[in-house]
Amino acid sequence: MEKITGKGSIQSAELWRRLQSSAVGWSWLFNILRLASGIIILPLVLQKLSKADLGMYYIFLSQAAIVPLVDFGFGPTVGRFVSYAMGGAQSIKAQGVPEPSGSSEPNYPLLWQLLLTTRRLYAYLSVLLLGILLTYGTYLVELTVTQTSSPTVTRIAWGITMVSAAFDVYANCWGTYLRGMNEVLASARIGVQGMLLRLVVSVAMLLGGAGLMALPLGTLCGSFLQRALSRRLCLQHLGPHGASIKADTRAMLKILWPNSWRVGVQFLSGYLTVNANTTICAVYFGLEGNAPYGLSVQVLGIIAGMASVWTATKWPLIGQLRARQDLATLRRVFWPRVWLQNLSYLAAVAGLLLLGPFLLEHFGGGKELLPLSWLALLVLNGLFEVQFNIWGTLITMENRVPYLWPTVATNVLSLALSLTLVQFTNLGLGALVLGPLLSGCLFNYWFWPPYAARRIGTRLLKFMLHGAKEDSAGT
């Protein structure tokens, strides 16, 4: 019995050690904390804020939602170029993969040039965001500020929100750079620490009566911690050679811009389409109709986000392999991650279809998902989106975004089709499901995955069925 117990303890210790060194595990923990923070903070917000202050709180949140859009595609581009430099690339160019240098050693001068440019770029983006919030955001706040319990406190809270949002953008440059160096595990751990601090400070301030100031103060503290830890680790890896390096920021930005704006337009197009569908739903079906649609989309978004961690933790390494033109190793790294992401998504949505309605009926306070038939089609569209995102991101590892305009056209068509079906059929909420599904199936869903597979020297079906075996067999 003692031997069994001892063996069990060793196995538990080994499992704990593996979890501690798992980038996937820490990334999942970060996402769980982000969800948990909403679950913990929302009841406190509802309890501590008056109805007018709660309305102002949602104005603050709507303005803070601009933060990811201000990045406008620079983050993925910077991360990709950093991975190229870590893979030994001697130079980078606006379009296409750099020529292989024959060396796998990191190019530290190029890494320093990218760091100096990235830091200045994100300072510019922070100023841009601050300008938007100072003008349009302040205008929105001032429209109703006198209705809040304390206009003075509300204005102070809005000032902290603006500073917090701008600093969050600036601090993000270090996290972006760290992930590009393939320090995904360290980045995830730092993200968890920052999220924990953000949660603790926000809860403490809400309980202490800080009201509208609580959440932006929590965000600011979390961003400070994440920036400090990410910056220290980046500089440790880069060494003391940066003092003598001068970066031509303008020339580097000209290289960053061509693909950044393309990714930014793609993100903006998707963001506007999702919000437009929500607006259509609210206008035609009212808030009660919007609830099951919004809940279904939100739950599927969470599932897809959790599943995508399997590939997200490997993109920096894949970028290095792409820079070295080591396609055989790339395929061996990529294949299990594609399957793990797909299987995770399928397992989670199977649970949603089987148990979701039952759980909501008994524990959801009367809330509902979409009817099962429409929910199944929404799940199918989500699966196609997962494939498009996996293979589309792989294409961007070549420093190209050839799918930009087909994606924008698909989003526009999706919106037009949903609106048409809502207006002229009796499909109800199903129109908002069929619009994206049908428009995606016209081109994007079936064209880009095989295209991306050919770019890494294989065929899609062959890759999915055989994966790394075809390389080990010498085919």
Tens digit of each residue's pLDDT (9 = 90 or more) over 426-441: 998 899 999 999 999 9
Q: What is the pLDDT of residue 49?
A: 86
Answer yes or no: do 199 and 284 share one domain: no
* pLDDT over threshold 80, residue 376: yes
For residue 157, the SS3 value is helix
Domain annotation covers residue 1: no
Domain annotation covers residue 469: yes
* pLDDT over threshold 80, residue 282: no
Structure tokens at 14: 């080994």
Domain annotation covers residue 357: yes
Answer yes or no: do 107 and 227 share one domain: yes
Q: What is the pLDDT of residue 268?
A: 85
* pLDDT over threshold 80, residue 62: no
Answer yes or no: do 243 and 265 share one domain: no
Answer yes or no: do 207 and 273 share one domain: no
Picking from 60, 62, 29, the residue whose alpha carbon sits closest to that of residue 215 is 60
Range of weakest confidence among 6-20, 177-191, 246-260:
6-20
* pLDDT over threshold 70, residue 4: no
Residue 255 half-sphere exposure, CB side, CA atoms within 13 Å?
Answer: 19
For residue 94, the SS3 value is coil
384 touches 357 (CB < 8 A): no
Answer yes or no: do 217 and 329 share one domain: no
Of 31-45, 268-282, 344-358, which has the strongest mean pLDDT? 344-358
Q: What is the pLDDT of residue 366?
A: 62
The domain of 73 spans: 33-247
Answer yes or no: do 105 and 186 share one domain: yes
74-108: pLDDT as tens digits: 999 999 999 999 998 888 888 888 877 777 788 88
Which of residues 247, 269, 292 is at a domain's end? 247
Locate all alpha helices (DSSP H) within 208-308, ordered by sequence: 214-238, 249-307
**Confidence category of residue 297, pLDDT binned at 50, 70, 90:** confident
Picking from 450, 259, 297, 261, the residue whose alpha carbon sits closest to that of residue 378 is 297
Domain annotation covers residue 20: no
407-421: pLDDT as tens digits: 999 999 999 999 999
Which of residues 226, 247, 268 is at a domain's end? 247
Domain annotation covers residue 22: no
Answer yes or no: do 290 and 152 share one domain: no
* Cβ-defined contacts of 44-49 (< 8 Å, 24+): 44/203, 44/206, 44/207, 45/206, 45/215, 48/206, 48/207, 48/209, 48/211, 49/211, 49/212
End-to-end CA distance of the chain: 51
Please state, in angstroms and rounded to a whole number, the distance separating the CA atoms of residues 56 and 118.
34
Q: Residue 191: in which H helix or E strand, if any?
A: helix 184-207
* pLDDT over threshold 80, residue 265: yes
216-235: pLDDT as tens digits: 999 999 999 999 999 999 99
**Confidence category of residue 368, pLDDT binned at 50, 70, 90:** confident
330-364: pLDDT as tens digits: 999 999 999 999 999 999 999 999 988 887 777 65
Which of residues 208, 224, 247 is at a domain's end? 247
pTM for the full model? 0.85
Answer yes or no: do 272 and 146 share one domain: no
> In Å, how far are 91, 267, 301 from 102, measured between CA atoms?
13, 35, 41
Answer yes or no: do 288 and 433 share one domain: yes
Structure tokens at 173: 């440059």
* pLDDT over threshold 60, residue 15: no
Structure tokens at 446: 């079936």
Q: What is the pLDDT of residue 333?
A: 95
Answer yes or no: do 422 and 284 share one domain: yes
137-149: pLDDT as tens digits: 899 889 888 998 9
Structure tokens at 34: 């982000």
Domain annotation covers residue 185: yes
% of the chain exceeding 90 in pLDDT: 55
* pLDDT over threshold 50, residue 129: yes
What's the structural domain count of the chain? 2
